[in-house]
Amino acid sequence: MPDEIASPPDAAFELLRLHRSGAFVLTRKAGQFCGQIVAAGDSTLSEAQAKWLAQLMDRAGLPEFANGGIND
């Protein structure tokens, strides 16, 4: 697991990687959400999307973003 996460796509990719390894279970909806974030690149997330990503990161035990915030 990384010491820090640089961007939402990095976080989403790590969540998908953890899911594929069996270390963390994503629902189908959460997996689709993460895939869309990875595919969209560095697009700004809505407040609801940022909240959901933060919740998934917390549940998976991922560190916070290196720059402080999801859309920073």
What six digits make up the tokens of 69? Answer: 């915030």
pLDDT tens for each residue of 19-38: 999 999 999 999 999 999 99
Answer yes or no: is pLDDT of 40 > 70: yes
Helix axes 8-21, 47-60, angle to 10 degrees: 40
The model's confidence at residue 72, banded by pLDDT at 50, 70 and 90, is: low
Which amino acid makes up residue 71?
N
The pTM of this model reads 0.90
